[in-house]
Chains A and B, each alone.
Chain A
């Protein structure tokens, strides 16, 4: 299986080509300019791997939550690549990409709580079981409310860790410093989803029928109306 993955959800950008269970080409940048770097990065990865776009099985992308600009660059790139190459696009949430990147040795059977800085003191949060099973839907919450997600002992990861640490009673949660996403992880999660759905054509068709949409978790701010009074 060949999957091209892109990520620009949280600031840094990366692209990776996943083939038969491993990353065969990748590129990353600590860029604040995803609109400039992401598509050239994809072109470089594809050239490095020497694989035609049409030979891909899927394009994977982190759909958020994250920076609205970053999400739009990533999702627009994935949907444009998908359209032109004639291969499906698959969205992976930022929560899933961050949770899947954790080292099992750090998780040690505990629930995972992913917290992403959402601005205005809030976090985007979602909890997973130790095997990455969902523990409910994602939400934009105050840090104290986010700490109620998940069960029992939990490990917290994501770039909102510090916001939760400040709101947490001592000793109940373990905090990890992880906040980075690698496109390789995004590709691996997409591969897993395709493989698990492959046995069921109906499930697979449904999964591929709708293109990835940004997961904003915040309504549009009506700050400025262009042409308004």
Chain B
């Protein structure tokens, strides 16, 4: 079984060809970082225009690298949400056109499901597992019970964790994208210099909040800035605040994950893995702490290689394979879903449903 995967939900245009024996025959990612850099964030219209300019060429290159024709595919998998609608439209429409011509099944993939299953692309990890999904747009703890079976334990009530990294990097003026920039600065900094809040620490449940932490970083920065007129002091301030912020994030993620582990253990006593996925999963400080946390709980931390943590087409192709094996395909009539929760109990949205889902 061999599937083409297409990803255009944010600022990366990606196409990959993957087979069910975990063969990655092509995995091309075209980053738009330079297009968005002047704005220090992703501009939706710029993203949409870049996707349509490059997607078909990238697919052509991926098929050439895999040395197969569209006839040889078993399906075309494409991210159809959640994400920025302009890019989703480009990816989904392109995938539909290819599916129509090649007369192959279309498989609409939830981007979060791509991340959730991506660890299984590298190695055999049995269901169920506990997933911490951390990226620029998402921050969730989920029980992954099977393909299409996800139970939400907690999510962010304001910013995603990657968003917090980006905003702090922007405030400190240390570069874009923010995740790697903060991690780099933090390595040289003193995490004990600023006592920042640990949002939600000790609170019941597994929800996250990063908005207050971000504001605390802003206040700490503005308070300390007048005393940092010299360039060296300024650099030290940036590094120390980045380190203090990252330490607060690590503590918050660990606390929330610990709560989720307890619940997950009750529901799935025989389960063996804590999985971390999404772009922020590339952060080494977060990985190290979660590995220790997992070990204490008798679980093993599993994470996709860094190249499969950030957005890519291979994880979409792999999710397509997993769905195709389960007979799950879609029609050419489907529309993109810019908002699309992974836990089906949350699909129509609403706070009451969310509360009920968390109580399960």
Q: For B345, list chain A residues within 8 Å (CB).
A: none
Q: For A40, list chain B residues within 8 Å (CB).
A: 331-333
Q: Which residue of B lies closest to A226 (CB)?
A: B42
B39–A72 CB distance below 8 A: no
Quick check: which of A19-27, A79-87, A97-105 contacts chain B, the rest being far away? A79-87
> Which chain B residues have a beta carbon within 8 Å of chain A's beta carbons?
10, 39-46, 48-49, 52-53, 55-56, 59-60, 70, 84-86, 89-90, 92-98, 100-102, 136-137, 160, 162-163, 166-167, 170, 331-336
CA–CA, A214 to B42, complex, Å? Answer: 21
Given A39-B96, A68-B86, A85-B101; A227-B41 close (CB under 8 Å): yes
Q: For A220, list chain B residues within 8 Å (CB).
A: 43, 45-46, 49
A33–B56 CB distance below 8 A: no
Residues facing B in A190-229 (CB within 8 A) are 211, 213-214, 216, 220-222, 224-229
Given A214-B52, A229-B167, A229-B170; A84-B93 close (CB under 8 Å): no
B52–A227 CB distance below 8 A: no
Q: Which residue of B lies closest to A80 (CB)?
A: B97
Q: For A33, list chain B residues within 8 Å (CB).
A: 335
Max chain B CB contacts within 10 Å: which of A42, A72, A77? A72
Q: For B42, list chain A residues within 8 Å (CB).
A: 225-227
Q: For B55, list chain A residues within 8 Å (CB).
A: 76, 79
Q: For A83, list chain B residues within 8 Å (CB).
A: 56, 59-60, 94, 97-98
Interface string of A91-124 (1 = CB under 8 A from B): 0000000000000000000000000000000000
B149 to chain A, nearest CB (A): 27
A72–B97 CB distance below 8 A: no
A35–B49 CB distance below 8 A: no
Sample of 6 A–B contacts (CB below 8 Å): A39-B100, A68-B45, A79-B52, A83-B97, A225-B42, A225-B43
Does A36 make an interface contact (CB < 8 A)? Answer: yes
> Which chain A residues have a beta carbon within 8 Å of chain B's beta carbons?
33, 35-40, 42-43, 46, 53, 68-69, 72-73, 75-85, 211, 213-214, 216, 220-222, 224-229
Q: For A76, list chain B residues within 8 Å (CB).
A: 52, 55, 89-90, 93-94, 97
A228–B41 CB distance below 8 A: yes
B41–A225 CB distance below 8 A: yes
CA–CA, A78 to B170, complex, Å? Answer: 39
B39–A225 CB distance below 8 A: yes
Given A225-B39, A227-B136; A36-B49 close (CB under 8 Å): no
Given A77-B96, A227-B42; A72-B89 close (CB under 8 Å): yes
Q: Which residue of B lies closest to A81 (CB)?
A: B97
A88 to chain B, nearest CB (A): 12
Given A35-B336, A40-B332, A85-B101; A72-B166 close (CB under 8 Å): no
A69–B86 CB distance below 8 A: yes
B332–A39 CB distance below 8 A: yes
Q: For B86, list chain A residues within 8 Å (CB).
A: 68-69, 72
B176 to chain A, nearest CB (A): 10
Q: Which residue of B lies closest to A225 (CB)?
A: B41
CA–CA, A227 to B10, complex, Å? Answer: 11
CA–CA, A83 to B4, complex, Å? Answer: 14
CA–CA, A82 to B70, complex, Å? Answer: 12
CA–CA, A106 to B321, complex, Å? Answer: 57
Q: Which residue of A lies closest to B86 (CB)?
A: A72
Q: For A211, list chain B residues within 8 Å (CB).
A: 56
* Residue from B48, B52, B53, B89 within 8 A of A35 (CB atoms): B89
B100–A42 CB distance below 8 A: yes
B45–A77 CB distance below 8 A: no
Q: For B334, list chain A residues within 8 Å (CB).
A: 36
CA–CA, A137 to B132, complex, Å? Answer: 53
Q: Which residue of B lies closest to A56 (CB)?
A: B101
Q: For B336, list chain A residues within 8 Å (CB).
A: 35
Q: Which residue of A lies closest to B162 (CB)?
A: A227
Q: For A214, list chain B residues within 8 Å (CB).
A: 49, 52
A121 to chain B, nearest CB (A): 20
Q: For A77, list chain B residues within 8 Å (CB).
A: 93-94, 96-97
A188 to chain B, nearest CB (A): 22
A34 to chain B, nearest CB (A): 8
Q: Which residue of B lies closest to A222 (CB)?
A: B43
User: What 9 A-B pairs are tightest by C-beta distance, nearest first?
Assistant: A80-B97, A228-B41, A220-B45, A84-B101, A225-B41, A76-B93, A80-B94, A39-B96, A79-B56
Q: Known A-B contacts: A72-B89, A220-B46. Give 15 more (CB < 8 A).
A: A39-B332, A40-B332, A43-B332, A68-B45, A72-B52, A72-B86, A79-B52, A80-B56, A80-B93, A83-B56, A214-B52, A216-B49, A226-B41, A227-B167, A228-B40
Q: Which residue of A lies closest to B46 (CB)?
A: A220
B89–A73 CB distance below 8 A: yes
Q: Which residue of A lies closest to B171 (CB)?
A: A229
Q: Which residue of A lies closest to B163 (CB)?
A: A227
B95–A80 CB distance below 8 A: yes
Q: Which residue of B lies closest to A83 (CB)?
A: B56
Q: Which residue of A lies closest to B49 (CB)?
A: A220
B52–A75 CB distance below 8 A: yes
A84–B70 CB distance below 8 A: yes
B265 to chain A, nearest CB (A): 34
Q: For A221, list chain B residues within 8 Å (CB).
A: 45
Q: For B48, list chain A residues within 8 Å (CB).
A: 68, 72
